[in-house]
Amino acid sequence: MSLNSRRILAAAFVLIFLVATPLLVLWSSGFRWNPKKWSWQQTGTISMETLPSGATVFLNEIQLNKKTPTVINALLPDIYEVRIEKDGYANWSERVEVTAGKTTIGKGILLLPKIVTRENEQAVSGGSEELKQNSVALIEKRSKEYGIEANAEGIKQIVRNVPSTQERRVIAQIADEITDVLDVSNDSFVLLKNEKNQLIIGSIGDTALVETDTLDDVLDYHWNDKKTILTVAAGLELLQYHVLGAKIQKTLITRASHPFERVLPLADIPYLFVEQEHQIKIIEQNALGVRITPLVQLRETESILFWKLTKKLKLTVWTKEQDKFFRFEISLEK
């Protein structure tokens, strides 16, 4: 090989090195060439987690060699069609937006059985103690531990009474129009009712309510186990209130064209059972959006008295139909 040939070959290697090195750096930093934009762009990630696990993932109708839980890396910023399939369960699909340098998380996606029915239905006695204790709507129940008294100046106060310890303590002063204390969480988060039958949600400062929200048409509400998150069915809206010290963070879950009559969040996953349009439905709420899925249709003259979760994914429902009482289960486990 001549001297000139060796020089040309060496120059070619140097040129390849100079071109390839920045490209390798870009590639290893999560950048990919986007022919649509004709530029290098930082990629993003989709993380998917389902209950149950082991579901197949499709991206833009292409089956991936992955099962949930899974992470899909190196995706150019765009809108992707994600579909999840598992035998015996209804398909889950969503348009997912991927943003440069960020992870879009689909956490706790609940795959619903293809067929959901009323299970183990049976007639029950209308005089049972369980029905008597639970058939009164929460909005009509008063706190047994907290009450309202007027002080010497005639100012209304929330007072805590604990018979076992003889403790009696003033929690906060309140307005004259307040009529009932429904519930109090940790002496800092209070549910009240006024003369107009409105629900008042407030946080308690040193001597008075410092933040309040007044709601009409409240039919049901539910605390989480630690009583730090309150979910409220308020007419056409589903709302959540988070206790953050003396502050309350209000979040609109969804707004609908028909009122929500009952609500019950599932523990540990972002789903809620609701009663709406004479149906029992389930609502999914996560970073990918909100979706409402009907599960069971109630009979024409049937009304729900109360319900509760007897297992993580099993709902037991007590209903009344004319002068008869029934109990049935809805299971989301296959």
Dist. CA 19–CA 14, nearest whole Å: 9
Residue entry with tokens 């009450």: 147
Digit-coded pLDDT (tens) for 248-274: 889 999 999 999 999 999 988 889 999
Give residue 26's pLDDT. Answer: 42
Residue entry with tokens 């048409």: 217
How many C-beta atoms lie closer than 10 Å to residue 303's C-beta?
A: 12
Dist. CA 107–CA 141, nearest whole Å: 35
Domain locations in the chain?
3-34, 43-110, 119-331
Residue entry with tokens 């002496």: 187
Q: Under a CB-based contact definition with an 8 Å cutoff, are residues 214 and 234 in contact?
A: no
In terms of phi and psi (left: phi > 0; alpha: psi -120 to 50; beta: otherwise), the region of 74 is: left
Dist. CA 302–CA 259, nearest whole Å: 17
pLDDT band at 33; cut points 50, 70, 90 = low
Digit-coded pLDDT (tens) for 47-88: 999 999 999 999 999 999 989 999 988 888 889 999 999 999
Q: Does domain 43-110 have CATH number 2.60.40.1120?
A: yes
Residues sharing a CB contact under 8 Å with residue 32, sequence separation 6 or more, in sequence order: 40, 41, 43, 74, 76
DSSP letters for 176-232: TTEEEEEEEETTTEEEEEETT--EEEEEE-SSBEEEEEEESSEEEEEE-TTS-EEEE
Give residue 7's pLDDT. Answer: 53
For residue 21, give both structure tokens: 């090195």
Q: Give percent helix, percent strand, percent coil of the chain, each to the nearest 5.
A: 10, 60, 30
Dist. CA 61–CA 301, nearest whole Å: 44
Determine if the peptide bond prior to 77 is cis (ω within 30°). Answer: no
How many C-beta atoms lie closer than 10 Å to residue 31's C-beta?
A: 19
Digit-coded pLDDT (tens) for 207-245: 788 778 999 999 899 998 888 899 999 999 999 998 876
pLDDT band at 308; cut points 50, 70, 90 = very high
The pTM of the whole model exceeds 0.85: no
Dist. CA 286–CA 68, nearest whole Å: 17
pLDDT > 70: percent of the chain: 83
Task: Calculate the CA 81 to chain-centre distance.
Answer: 23
Q: Tell me which fold the domain 119-331 belongs to.
A: Neuraminidase (2.120.10)
Q: Under a CB-based contact definition with an 8 Å cutoff, are residues 191 and 146 in contact?
A: no
Is 22's pLDDT higher than 60? Answer: no
Dist. CA 42–CA 63, nearest whole Å: 24
List b or e across 84-114, with b for residues whose CB sees 16 or more CB atoms inside 10 angstroms: bebeebeebebebebeeeeebbbeebbbbee
